[in-house]
Amino acid sequence: MTDVVTAGISLRHGGVSRAPYTSLNLAEHVGDDESAVAANRDMLFQQANLKNLHYCCQIHSASVIDIDNGAGTIPEDPPEADALVSTDRETALGIFTADCVPIFILDHATPAIGIAHAGWRGTFARIAVNTLAQMKASFGTLATNCQIHLGPSIQKCCYTVSTELLDQFAERFGSTVHDGKNLSLQDANLNQLVEAGLPPTSISVSPLCTACRTDLFYSHRAENGRTGRMLSFIQLNAGS
Ligand SMILES: [Zn+2]
């Protein structure tokens, strides 16, 4: 993005977790050794210079939390939601993925940030647009002031779903979101954001497919559900 924010996604290398979580697994809920996850988090937070990390207990919903109301205090039990928004410079926002689409939002003007976890359920429920709507309600964010990135996630090449689901997505987001067999979560998110007023030129999409590239990423589908999670993070830089 720009020097206003620090944002990124971890790869699966360089950590201490053992198979099937090899090796930089950052999520506690997948069955990995807790001390390995803690060590991995310490490494990443130091390298990326992340401050207080807020994350949620992800439930494939379209729920968004504005964390500015308790900023600085990290709840012991993360709240159930799939997106977070903030204007606080002391806070990093994070979501975990292994195929789902991480959506990074920067409102340059305010400045404010958001991050969302969009699998097929969240995408279908328009979590990207909901996150923007929460930023508008909380901070006055305008879509035209935003830059959005859809990070590495499972792409159309590998995402075969039922005909019924393809039809539901086509009805909601347009026939271009599938090829008759496979679904593009990227296009479904892109189309809903453009419909919400984002200029297409303000949205970038990673071409990397997590299921094709298990050398770099965790993939829930390619690894039959037994794998780790990457962390996507975004943080406003001090003085921005
Ligand atoms: Zn692929």
Averaged pLDDT, 167-192: 98
Phi, then psi, of 112 in degrees rounded to 5: -145, 160
Residue 160 Cα to ligand 1 midpoint, Å, equals 10
Residue 162 Cα to ligand 1 midpoint, Å, equals 17
Per-residue model confidence (pLDDT) at position 71: 58
- 89 CB neighbour count, 10 Å cutoff: 16
Residue 159 Cα to ligand 1 midpoint, Å, equals 7
Residue 209 Cα to ligand 1 midpoint, Å, equals 5
Helices assigned H by DSSP within 21-64: 34-48
Per-residue model confidence (pLDDT) at position 122: 98
CA distance 63 to 65: 7
Residue 133 Cα to ligand 1 midpoint, Å, equals 31
Residue 111 Cα to ligand 1 midpoint, Å, equals 34
105-147 confidence digits (pLDDT tens): 999 999 999 999 999 999 999 999 999 999 999 999 999 999 9
CA distance 127 to 90: 25
Per-residue model confidence (pLDDT) at position 69: 74
Q: Is 1's pLDDT higher than 50?
A: no
Helices assigned H by DSSP within 49-147: 120-124, 127-139
Q: Which one, of 109, 107, 108, 82, lies nearest residue 96 by Cα?
A: 82
Residue 153 Cα to ligand 1 midpoint, Å, equals 9
CA distance 109 to 221: 38
CA distance 166 to 113: 31
Per-residue model confidence (pLDDT) at position 227: 97
191-239 confidence digits (pLDDT tens): 999 999 999 999 999 999 999 999 999 999 999 999 999 999 999 988 7
Q: Which one, of 142, 88, 96, lies nearest residue 119 by Cα?
A: 96
Domain count, the chain: 1
Per-residue model confidence (pLDDT) at position 2: 47
62-119 confidence digits (pLDDT tens): 999 999 876 566 677 888 999 999 999 988 999 999 999 999 999 999 999 999 999 9
Residue 158 Cα to ligand 1 midpoint, Å, equals 4
**Domain span including residue 201:** 5-236
Residue 156 Cα to ligand 1 midpoint, Å, equals 7
Question: Which of the pair, 50 or 40, is modelled with greater confidence?
Answer: 40
15-42 confidence digits (pLDDT tens): 999 999 999 999 999 999 999 999 999 9
Residue 174 Cα to ligand 1 midpoint, Å, equals 22
pTM, 2 dp:
0.96
212: domain CATH number? 3.60.140.10
